[in-house]
Structure 1
Amino acid sequence: MSRLRYLQGPAATRSAGALRNTVRSVRAIYETDEAVARALLPQPLVGIERPEVWLQIAHVAMHVADDRTVEIGALTMGINCTYEGTPGAYCFHMAMEGETVVTSGRERFGEPKKVAETSFERQGDHVRATCSRHGITYFALEGRIGGENDAPRAFEEYLFCYKALPSIDTPGQFDGDVFLTRLNWKRNYTTRRDMTGEIRLTESPYDPLIDIPVRRLVAMEYVEGATQTSGQILRTVPGDWIAPHWIGRYDEPTNSGIDLAQPAEKAA
């Protein structure tokens, strides 16, 4: 009997519920330039007092089924902000290994994922992690693990994303509704240890994180444990609120960006 696997069969590979992950990560917060953080944050998200970038680079074991685990590396970065009083971060960059996890996250949650190569190496208390695309290692983090900290082991944190379909006919517009989404990440860490270290950003026309400079490292820690990831739609938003930011989802090495000294041009 013939079989056609381009249609869903009777048993889905994964339910619509939260995905269970086992992670070991370095998490960090750094201060950047106020003008950069302000320009990078789309409506209706509200910036916090300090212009802070939240990031984590992780080795993730995704338990997609009882008998199947997928291991990936992932770099996630966001601008700390709030939405209707709820603290979180606007996710402007996600880079990770594997086409399947990239496409599913972009299509389902609106995550700005890109396919990348990552490394996450720990030797004793020394950790080095990198992220590379197009042969350029544009992100590197290195540090030394210290003692346990007293931060909560079990908590939930949020990332804000935008889900939409770019217009077929008109660049800078969208076909259909644009949604503000929220990623809900439930953490259950067994280890949280302070770290000292540094973050190095290198020029890449494909991933210009160097335009969001590290002015002061606020915090860094090493964590291990479990994570459950899920998400939800918060509301629809006008397409022009997110259109200028959509460029970050694609590789556009000729994009010159905006001049932060001329905010009126950005709004035009």
Structure 2
Amino acid sequence: MTALRYRMGPVATRSAGGLNNSVRSIRAIYETDPAVYAAMLPRPLTPVARPEIFVQFAHVAMHITPERTVEIGALTMGVVCDYEGQRGAYCFHMAMEGESVVTSGRERFGEPKKIATTSFEKNGNHVRATCSRHGITYCTIEGEIGAENANPRQFEEYIYCYKGLIDIQDPTKFDGDVYLTQLDWQRNYTTRADMTGTITLAESAYDPLVDIPVRRLVSMEYVEGATVTGGRLLRTVPGEWIADHWVGRFDDPANVGLEIGVAEVEAA
């Protein structure tokens, strides 16, 4: 007999449930300009009181099976928001190592993942993490770990994404429904400590995070522990609600971007 591996065999290798991960992460919240914050948030997500951006830089050991573990670095950024009273963050940027984890997250959950080169270095209490694409290191997080918190955190947090397929004829529209999805991240941190540090965003036409400036660092912490990830579909949304945000999922250095009122930005 001949095996044809373009068809699924009798033993499924892909789990329908959540993925169990071991993580070391820098987590931070920063305030950006109110006008930028408002322009970054698509419907039906609603703003919170302060224009805050969530940042997580992680070294993740993904336990695919008892015999197989995949280690990656991952940068996640989101706009802190609400959906029907549930606090979470709209994920507008995910960059990580490895084609398989990028394609699976994009197709299954609607995560805006891109393949990147990352580093995560811990030397004593000093931690430095970088993310690079196209030879440009466009995000660097660096800082000092303080005293360990006596109460490690166990909680669930929620990340909102959009899942859809660009129209085959008109790339400004979609083929079929667009879904709002919710990622459910169950955290079980065994180590947690506040950090002092900096977030540095550098110019990149491919990943213009610098357009979402760091105006004030609200919090930063270092954590270690386990995470179980999963997700669900929340609802369908009109394609026009998310269409002009979709450019962030691709490399489009010719995109000049949306003009934001100068007076609004300067007043932030």
Identify whether the pair has TM-score above 0.5, normalized to the shorter chain.
yes
Corresponding residue of 1:194:
194
Which amino acid is the alignment partner of residue 261 of structure 1?
G
Q: Distance in 2 between matches of 1:142 and 1:15?
A: 35
Q: Is this contact kept in 2: 1:14–1:65, CA < 8 A?
A: no
Deviations 1:43-96 (A, max 9, x none): 000010100000100100000001100000000000000000000000000000
* Unpaired stretches in structure 1, ≥5 consecutive residues: 263-268
Q: Distance in 1 between matches of 2:122 and 2:39?
A: 36
Structure 2 residue 64 is matched with structure 1 residue 64: yes
Q: How many residues align?
A: 262
Corresponding residue of 1:144:
144
Where do 1:99-138 residues align within 5 Å?
Answer: 99-138=99-138
Deviation at 1:151, TM superposition (A): 5.8
Change (3 A) 1:152 1:48: farther
Deviation at 1:13, TM superposition (A): 1.2
Corresponding residue of 2:84:
84
Deviation at 1:148, TM superposition (A): 2.1
Identity across matched positions, percent: 69
TM-score, normalised to structure 2's length?
Answer: 0.96
Corresponding residue of 1:266:
none
Deviation at 1:149, TM superposition (A): 2.9
Q: Distance in 2 between matches of 1:52 and 1:9?
A: 46
Q: Is this contact kept in 2: 1:81–1:89, CA < 8 A?
A: yes
Corresponding residue of 1:17:
17
Deviation at 1:150, TM superposition (A): 5.7
Q: Is this contact kept in 1: 2:43–2:241, CA < 8 A?
A: yes
CA RMSD of aligned residues (A): 0.9
Corresponding residue of 1:96:
96
Residue 30 of structure 1 aligns to a residue in which SS?
strand
Residue 29 of structure 2 aligns to a residue in which SS?
strand
Change (3 A) 1:151 1:168: farther
Corresponding residue of 2:266:
none
Corresponding residue of 1:235:
235
* Unpaired stretches in structure 2, ≥5 consecutive residues: 263-268
Q: Distance in 1 between matches of 2:181 and 2:215?
A: 29
Which amino acid is the alignment partner of residue 141 of structure 1?
I
Corresponding residue of 1:26:
26
Corresponding residue of 1:265:
none
